[in-house]
Amino acid sequence: MVLENLDRTQWSFAEALAHVETVVVAHGAVEASRLPAAPPREYMPWERPEDPRVRWKSEAREQVLVALRDGDLHAQGRFSDTRNNRNWGSDFNKEWVLHSGHHEPISPPHWRQGRFERDGLSSNQWEFIDIRVPRFMVLAIWPAYVPPSMPKSVDAPAYTTPYLALMQEAIELFSLSEARQEKKDSLYEWFRTRQVDGEPVSGNLCDAMATLIRLPGAQRGGARRQTGPDLRKVV
């Protein structure tokens, strides 16, 4: 890979997690749609139906953390090993202070030893905050997912209209094919004898349908146009 073309965009942990949640929820929704419908259940007044999206988002978070623990996904953060002396002030509720202004790599052992809460990773000796991950690595592991279009039901009839059905009937009745074309006048007269929804077919529609079921070459009349060498070119 050419380094100049490397995507160096960094995502915050929250941005990366939001992307993975979207992918995992989309996958989960498609898989759930393929399962047979569960029988209806009555819930007690204090119960609420389970929202599967909550479970899928929890799975997405665990997938990200597993990738970080295994080293499949790299991360950087601002490091501190300075404990707060708990003086009153804006940092009173913070366990660690004086974090580095520069991001440095967080190793897989850090992820396995530390506790991840909110957007920080900490242990008894250190803490990383402002965690970032490479966007290209997240997309490589969790590509954007586009749910497949739902297949048509096998039992669903193909869409048609009375006029299309009438044209198909004429094609079969007159045995029309690429090699056999019927005269337009004969087709026109046949369409004039038919009805759609109990009403005679108008002359304009008969003419249009008689035209549309014939090949363009037959509509021009005479033999089919043949292609050959351009005699105007000098050999």
Same domain, 203 and 108: no
Instruction: Write out pLDDT tens, residues 64-111.
Output: 999 999 999 999 999 999 998 876 656 667 889 999 999 999 999 999
Most confident option among 22-26, 33-37, 104-108: 104-108
Q: What is the pLDDT of residue 223?
A: 43
Same domain, 63 and 169: no
- Whether the per-residue pLDDT at 32 is higher than 60: the answer is yes
User: How many folded domains does the chain comprise?
Assistant: 2
Same domain, 131 and 28: yes
Domain extent, residue 20, equals 7-34+50-141
In a domain, 186, yes or no: yes
Amino acid at 104: E
Same domain, 18 and 130: yes
Q: What is the pLDDT of residue 42?
A: 72
Same domain, 128 and 190: no
What percent of the chain shows pLDDT beyond 90?
Answer: 40
In terms of Cα–Cα distance, which of 72, 75, 87 is closest to 15?
Answer: 75
- Whether the per-residue pLDDT at 21 is higher than 70: the answer is yes
Same domain, 193 and 81: no
What backbone phi and psi angles, to 5 degrees, belong to 219?
-70, -30
- Whether the per-residue pLDDT at 178 is higher than 50: the answer is yes
Same domain, 24 and 108: yes
Average pLDDT, the chain: 83
Same domain, 108 and 190: no
pTM assigned to the model:
0.57
In a domain, 226, yes or no: no
User: Which long-range contacts does 67-70 make (Cβ < 8 Å, 24+ apart)?
Assistant: 67/141, 68/106, 68/108, 68/111, 68/133, 69/108, 69/111, 69/112, 70/108
- The pLDDT of 125-144, averaged and rounded, is 94
In a domain, 234, yes or no: no
In a domain, 235, yes or no: no
- The pLDDT of 206-223, averaged and rounded, is 76
